[in-house]
A and B are shown apart, each in its own frame.
Chain A
Amino acid sequence: MNNEQQISILVLDDEPVVCKRLRPILEKKGYAVETFFESEEALKRFKEKPFHIVITDLKMKGLDGMQFLTAVKELSPDTEVIVITGFATMETAKESFRKGVFDFLAKPFKLGEISDIIQKAEVKVRGRIS
């Protein structure tokens, strides 16, 4: 297990608390985590280095979540994207899945729920790597 490649995760949410909380928890689970409040910066970073997993909020100032995940999927189709959102209509959910989102999580979520989803995504990613 230890010699396996470390899974990298990018967290993007304009709510600082989400970033603050997820980061230590995920790091403790052995992921390489980077967090961003702003989508432009996150995208810039992603262009430098593609991540295995991206967790993004949908509703944000500037470049919104949907545009961000579209860009991510274009840059790196293998990246698994997990969407978290404060409010989702059926349309946004459908659109996200059409764009190849791995899963869709509504706020407020439990830490257990997001961990489960990340784990599943990890399995998928690892299957692809090996």
Chain B
Amino acid sequence: MKVKLPESQTMGNANIPNADEIIQMEKALSQRPSFSIRFRITLAFLVAFLFSFGIGVSSIFYISVMNSKQNFFDHATKFAFTVEQARRHEKNFFLYHTRTDLFDALSNIKSAEVILKNAASDMRILLKHETFKNLTNNLKQYQAFLNQIAYWHGSKDDSAKPDESEIEGQLRIYGHQILTDAMDLMDQERNNVHKVAQTFMLAAGFSLIINLIVMIWVATELARQIVQPLGRAVQYTQRIAAGNFNLVIPQRKFRDEFSNLAIAINRMIFELMEKHEQLVQSRKMAAVGTLTSGIAHELNNPLNNISITTEALMESLDDYTHDEIMDMLKDIFIQVERSSATVRNLLDFTRLGKSKIEAINVNDLIGSTLKLVKSEHTLKSVETKTLIEDHLPAVKGNFRNLQQVLLNIFLNGIQAMNEGGMLTIKADKTDDQYVKIDVLDQGCGIEKKNLRKIFDPFFTTKGVGEGTGLGLSVSYGIIQEIGGKITVDSDEGRGTTFSVYLPIANDSEA
């Protein structure tokens, strides 16, 4: 099955996964053909084993060949030696004419014959048929001559006695022939054994090298196949930690143990999403908590205005002219409107619900958020100034979530300006991609060593009960989710600028 992969895994696509997508991705991940790591390791070891097995078998073969060569060589040596013995006795006989020498020569030749016969099966494989035949014939001839001499030597009848010197000559020729043949055989066999030993050594060295290469390949390939998905898993966790909750999508055509990991990660992402949503919500409540005094002020003032105006009217309605009464009623009306706007704004902000992505007017966003903090900054004698570029395009995001981001940043700015000051809010279009909202304060600034940490959850320099340290981390998450970014620039002791980049909504979404 084929799964369509998005071009790039940017955080830009603000697709917050839902349960359906999770199930779909789980299917995609698990429906690929299985090619498990366990199977791959077994396969690799099998290949390695077969290779070693081959080397072993060929060694056995070579050794047996060498062994038979060696046997043959032994036979040849023995044969040559025995023939040599026979020839020595033969010479002695012709020198001293002792009969024992003759018999010794004969017995030696017989043993040589036996050796040849015994070794026949071995030799016949290795020798040319002709060579073997020649050797046997020569031996037979030699023996025949010897026997002849032995026969005539004993008898007194000299008449039929053949010419001894002629036989001696014949014996010499055959004896010499046999010996040279035997010597040749020996040399040949020695060379053969040498050659076989050399090829064996060469083959052994060669297969060692090949074995090494195969092993290295198997090891690196296995390591790669395990390390690569592990690396990807690490990337996923980093991406998730950075607030990008895109699901893990299949990267390979087959399924293995890491697919289960991917499925588990996807489930975790889903859980995290829900937790994140809850965190965003609870942060809102916390923000409202910090606004309590402001909200109370914001509601008690109009209530008071209504209360004293109605009381004045009730006490002495007749003392007032018609116009005055009209004016007072109008006051009441306006004050009711004012308090209900405050309540509405607050309810809007804290309302529960899925964060739907919509096209947002930046002016509305900034205006409504400023209203939420209005009492907070008047209390701290902080003034606000807004510089919003005309005709800004709509941005993409969830209104209440973005309100929360701005609220957190505004509150941080206000809280940083204990002595009062100016909170400036600028909005302009940086390029075709983003609308940038700058929030500048003239507060205490952020220490260099803390700059890296301010987006961490629970990092706060504020006292217990004053700051939870979640404001910026939650804001960061919200902005990441929609594919925007937050940057900060701070001058210790002089002020801080937070810049929020919001992705511009496409026309289709607007």
Tell me the A residues contacting B by CB distance below 8 Å.
15, 17-18, 20-22, 24-25, 59-64, 85-87, 89, 106-111
Selected from A20, A87, A107, A111, the residue in CB contact (under 8 A) with B315 is: A111
With A87-B293, A87-B300, A110-B311 in contact, is A17–B305 under 8 Å at CB?
A: yes
Selected from A63, A64, A108, the residue in CB contact (under 8 A) with B300 is: A108
With A17-B335, A111-B315 in contact, is A86–B308 under 8 Å at CB?
A: no
Interface residues of B in 385-426 (CB under 8 A from A): none
Chain A binding site: helix, strand, loop or mixed by DSSP?
Answer: loop
3 cross-chain pairs, A with B, having the tightest CB-CB distances, nearest first: A86-B297, A108-B304, A87-B296
What are the residues of chain A within 8 A of B304 when measuring CB–CB?
15, 18, 86, 107-109
With A17-B335, A60-B378 in contact, is A107–B303 under 8 Å at CB?
A: yes
* B301 sits at the interface (CB 8 A): yes
What are the residues of chain A within 8 A of B219 when measuring CB–CB?
none
With A59-B379, A61-B378 in contact, is A109–B293 under 8 Å at CB?
A: no
A62 to B294, CA, bound (A): 16
Contact B297 A17 (CB under 8 A): no
Contact A15 B301 (CB under 8 A): yes
* B375 sits at the interface (CB 8 A): yes
Interface residues of B in 357-403 (CB under 8 A from A): 375, 378-379, 381, 383
What are the residues of chain A within 8 A of B297 when measuring CB–CB?
59, 85-87
A65 to B315, CA, bound (A): 30
The residue among A59, A86, A110 with the most chain B CB atoms within 10 A of its own CB is A86
A104 to B311, CA, bound (A): 20
* B23 sits at the interface (CB 8 A): no
* B134 sits at the interface (CB 8 A): no
* B74 sits at the interface (CB 8 A): no
Contact A89 B308 (CB under 8 A): no
A60 to B375, CA, bound (A): 9
A26 to B391, CA, bound (A): 51
The residue among B299, B301, B305 with the most chain A CB atoms within 10 A of its own CB is B301
* B141 sits at the interface (CB 8 A): no
New contact pairs (8) apart from A63-B381, A108-B300, CB-CB < 8 Å: A17-B335, A20-B331, A86-B296, A86-B299, A87-B293, A107-B300, A108-B308, A110-B308
A25 to B294, CA, bound (A): 29
Contact B309 A86 (CB under 8 A): no
Contact A18 B305 (CB under 8 A): yes
A110 to B303, CA, bound (A): 11
Contact A25 B312 (CB under 8 A): yes
A85 to B375, CA, bound (A): 13
Interface residues of B in 292-323 (CB under 8 A from A): 292-294, 296-301, 303-309, 311-312, 315
Residue of B nearest to A112 (CB): B311
What are the residues of chain A within 8 A of B309 when measuring CB–CB?
17, 21
Write the nearest CB–CB distance from A52 to chain B, whole angstroms. 22
What are the residues of chain A within 8 A of B296 when measuring CB–CB?
86-87
What are the residues of chain B within 8 A of A60 when measuring CB–CB?
378
A25 to B316, CA, bound (A): 10
Contact B308 A17 (CB under 8 A): yes
A107 to B298, CA, bound (A): 11
Residue of A nearest to B301 (CB): A86
Write the nearest CB–CB distance from B33 to chain A, whole angstroms. 67
What are the residues of chain A within 8 A of B378 when measuring CB–CB?
59-61
What are the residues of chain A within 8 A of B312 when measuring CB–CB?
21, 24-25, 111
What are the residues of chain B within 8 A of A107 when measuring CB–CB?
300-301, 303-304
What are the residues of chain A within 8 A of B293 when measuring CB–CB?
87, 89
A81 to B331, CA, bound (A): 27
Contact B381 A62 (CB under 8 A): yes
What are the residues of chain B within 8 A of A59 when measuring CB–CB?
297, 375, 378-379
Interface residues of B in 323-349 (CB under 8 A from A): 331, 335
Residue of A nearest to B327 (CB): A20
Contact B300 A86 (CB under 8 A): yes
Q: Could you list 10 examples of A-B contacts with CB < 8 Å?
A: A20-B331, A59-B297, A61-B383, A87-B296, A106-B300, A107-B300, A107-B304, A109-B307, A111-B308, A111-B315
Write the nearest CB–CB distance from B291 to chain A, whole angstroms. 11
Contact B379 A111 (CB under 8 A): no
What are the residues of chain A within 8 A of B301 when measuring CB–CB?
15, 86, 107
What are the residues of chain B within 8 A of A85 when measuring CB–CB?
297
A89 to B381, CA, bound (A): 18
A18 to B383, CA, bound (A): 23
Residue of B nearest to A20 (CB): B331
Contact A109 B381 (CB under 8 A): no
A87 to B376, CA, bound (A): 12
Residue of A nearest to B295 (CB): A87
Residue of A nearest to B324 (CB): A24
Selected from B299, B307, B381, the residue in CB contact (under 8 A) with A61 is: B381
Write the nearest CB–CB distance from B327 to chain A, whole angstroms. 9
With A15-B305, A18-B305 in contact, is A64–B381 under 8 Å at CB?
A: yes
A17 to B383, CA, bound (A): 23
What are the residues of chain B within 8 A of A20 when measuring CB–CB?
331
Residue of A nearest to B320 (CB): A24
What are the residues of chain A within 8 A of B383 when measuring CB–CB?
61
What are the residues of chain B within 8 A of A17 when measuring CB–CB?
305, 308-309, 331, 335
Write the nearest CB–CB distance from B339 to chain A, whole angstroms. 11
Selected from A22, A61, A64, the residue in CB contact (under 8 A) with B308 is: A22
What are the residues of chain B within 8 A of A62 when measuring CB–CB?
381
Write the nearest CB–CB distance from B417 to chain A, whole angstroms. 14
Interface residues of B in 249-306 (CB under 8 A from A): 292-294, 296-301, 303-306
What are the residues of chain B within 8 A of A111 when measuring CB–CB?
308, 311-312, 315
A107 to B311, CA, bound (A): 14
What are the residues of chain A within 8 A of B331 when measuring CB–CB?
17, 20
